[in-house]
Chain A
Amino acid sequence: MIPLFFLVLAPILVGVIFYLFFKPKHRFIIPLFQCLILAATIINFLHVKQYNTYMETLGGWGRGIGITLKLDPISGAMVVLTATLFLAMVIFDYRETYMNNLFLFLFLSLEGMMIGIFVSNDLFNIFVMIEVSTIIVSILIMFKKDSRAIYDGMLYMMINVVAMLFFLFGVGMLYKTFGVLDLTLIQQRVAFIHNSQSLILPYAFIMTAIALKAALMPLFSWLPKAHATPSAPSIVSAVLSGLYVKNGVYLFIRVQKVFETHINTMDFFLLIGFLTAIIGVVLAISQKDIKLILAYSTVSQIGLIMMGINTGNIQAYWGAIYHIINHAIFKSTLFLTAGIITETYGTRNVYKIRGLFKSMPAVSIAMIMAIMGITGTPFFNGSISKYWISYGAQGSLAEFGIVLINLGTIISFVKYSTMVFGDSEMGRINIGLNRKFIVLAMGFACLGGGILGNELMRFLFDQYMVITLGSYINKIMIFLASLLIGFLAYHLVIKKSNILSRIRELELDFNSICFSIISFFLLILIYLKYANMRG
């Protein structure tokens, strides 16, 4: 077992040392270091798989006094995922000129912060890490100093700072009630609370911030801008969209667990998740900028994950956890390939890029595999996690909702995949071997995650479900039908109507986003006050 604080500190320290004492040409150290971190996280994961949870209190203080770090199978898997993706990212952009000391320092610090958020068990510590990572992310977004990126980065930072103030206020109220900041201890003490009314306000404050971090329904307007800003390096977009949003989802799971004896908001967040997913796909279909299509599809997939978590069914829950991992893999592949495409073609307009398969076959194969993953094509990883989620939602309205969402995803990616076909006058384009290797490896990971899906679930989380041939064929039929409908709907109806350009123009400014924050906050308050109290 490697100490957890080491995993948080090591990337930051290596970043600082590299920034101070090394030259950019020595950056071969960074992938080697990432391999070490990956090995350490895998050792830790195997340990928690055997012993279930691992707790570590910093500074030798007792529980409730010192800061505690906690690793359980879910966070262990998330940490391994973080280390894997960061290794892939630094190899992918190994030869780029902007990978200078400053960039690597920021990027490695972001890795440390993300691992920290996954393992931390202390509310104030989580607040500090999110605040620091917000600053780092906003600097990474505007790293190339493009004028659009500066607006996006500024908006991102201000919105997230405001949301984290809500979080801090909620933490203050919880501390006043319970006298501890440790999530596990709070969970134990929540059981002694007689009057659940006193938990409403802190819950609403904290949930508002977490919902914004996870980009739920009224609060996602910052996400597409931050994830798809034109000049941001594609590895930054990939990490933000693949992993950083998952921090919010993961915190949602943790905090929900703390309050679960008194506050039941499952139906509420099931509905919010559904609305998030639907609005996400509608906006994704309407975009013409390839990175924006991907960013909005992240919103819709987050909605799907939220639906899985809040169905109240164990299969759907683990399906959602598996979907978090799958989404990280295919979405970062898509962002990386989109980065290569925009660099070579010099445009981000989905209608102008054609003939990818002829100009860069390897990249387009990786892209198609990722698309198959995200649309839930049989034998790819998305199909397994979506199967689990819809199995859990069987017999309820949510099952229809999931089919509908998948139809929307298929339509948006039918539009996206038109880039592959046709002719281009670019000729064959040479792409660096490291880039080809990374995107292809991640593309094949999508296939592997599908074929070995159930084995992986058993290995990672000890969950097993017998997928009968009949039900799987049923799913394949539904998929093929939605593919057909999606294809026809896109080519016959959506492409020709001009409603798309009208939806595309929708954009919230800073004040309206603040308004959506306060309305979400009030919505939770009112819902908890009148609709759904236990005990």
Chain B
Amino acid sequence: MGYTNGEIAGIIIFFIGFVGLLSRKNILKTIICVEIMESAIILYFISSAFVEGGVPPIVPFNADKVADPLPQALMITEIVIGIAVSAVALTMFIHMYHKYGTTNWQKAMKKRRNK
């Protein structure tokens, strides 16, 4: 396997999302980048619990290896939270667009200062 596994991919995707946060001034793209980072974390969690040939720990099972179910359970919670966060963020973005008329963080900051 070496270095080509899901965990490494998760770390790389996480920082790709972060580069988006650093370089994009568009608020919508910021929200998308946060989503990308969330997916990276989900990938990391799921693949960190991956066992080759493992089965779900549901009794009765006939295999020697069992995959740890907790990270998957955590990630279901995380997906729900992620949906809630992006829904709230998008709603706020719509309000902000109505008030400021821009999708740009810097322009919004300048307008806020002059208000």
A contact patch SS: helix
B contact patch SS: helix
Give Cα A509 to B92, complex, Å. Answer: 17
Q: Measured between C-beta atoms, what is the minimum distance from A115 to chain B in Å?
A: 20
Give Cα A216 to B38, complex, Å. Answer: 25
Q: Is there a chain A Cβ closer than 8 Å to B4's Cβ? A: no
Of the candidates B38, B77, B92, B106, the one having the most CB atoms from chain A within 10 angstroms of its own CB is B92
CB nearest to B15 among chain A residues? A518
Chain A contacts for B78, CB-based, 8 A: 168
Q: Measured between C-beta atoms, what is the minimum distance from B83 to chain A in Å?
A: 12
Q: Is there a chain A Cβ closer than 8 Å to B96's Cβ? A: yes
Q: Measured between C-beta atoms, what is the minimum distance from B98 to chain A in Å?
A: 9
Given known contacts A131-B81, A169-B41, A172-B44, A514 and B22 CB-to-CB distance under 8 angstroms: yes
Total chain B interface residues with beta-carbon distance under 8 A: 42
Given known contacts A135-B84, A135-B85, A151-B109, A162 and B21 CB-to-CB distance under 8 angstroms: yes
Of the candidates B21, B30, B68, the one having the most CB atoms from chain A within 10 angstroms of its own CB is B21
The 8 Å CB contact of A175, one of B34, B48, B108, is: B48
Q: Are B92 and A511 in contact (CB under 8 A)?
A: no
Given known contacts A154-B93, A157-B89, A507-B109, A165 and B77 CB-to-CB distance under 8 angstroms: no
Q: Are B44 and A157 in contact (CB under 8 A)?
A: no
Of the candidates A139, A176, A518, the one having the most CB atoms from chain B within 10 angstroms of its own CB is A176
Q: Is there a chain B Cβ closer than 8 Å to A147's Cβ? A: yes
Given known contacts A135-B85, A158-B30, A511 and B41 CB-to-CB distance under 8 angstroms: no
Of the candidates B23, B30, B100, the one having the most CB atoms from chain A within 10 angstroms of its own CB is B30
Q: Are A165 and B37 in contact (CB under 8 A)?
A: yes
30 contacts between A and B (CB under 8 A): A124-B74, A128-B81, A132-B81, A135-B84, A138-B88, A148-B112, A150-B92, A151-B112, A153-B92, A154-B27, A154-B96, A157-B89, A158-B30, A158-B31, A158-B89, A161-B34, A161-B85, A161-B89, A162-B18, A162-B34, A169-B14, A172-B41, A172-B44, A175-B48, A175-B71, A176-B7, A507-B109, A507-B113, A514-B21, A518-B18
Q: Please report A residues at the B interface, Cβ cutoff 8 Å.
A: 124, 128, 131-132, 135, 138-139, 142, 145, 147-148, 150-154, 157-158, 161-162, 165, 168-169, 172, 175-176, 179, 507, 509-511, 514-515, 518
Q: Which 10 A-B pairs have the closest CB atoms?
A: A147-B99, A510-B105, A176-B48, A514-B21, A151-B112, A154-B92, A509-B109, A165-B37, A172-B45, A509-B106
Given contacts A131-B81, A510-B105, A511-B25, 15 further A-B contacts (CB under 8 A): A124-B74, A131-B85, A135-B85, A145-B95, A150-B96, A151-B108, A154-B89, A158-B89, A162-B34, A165-B14, A165-B37, A165-B41, A172-B45, A176-B7, A510-B30
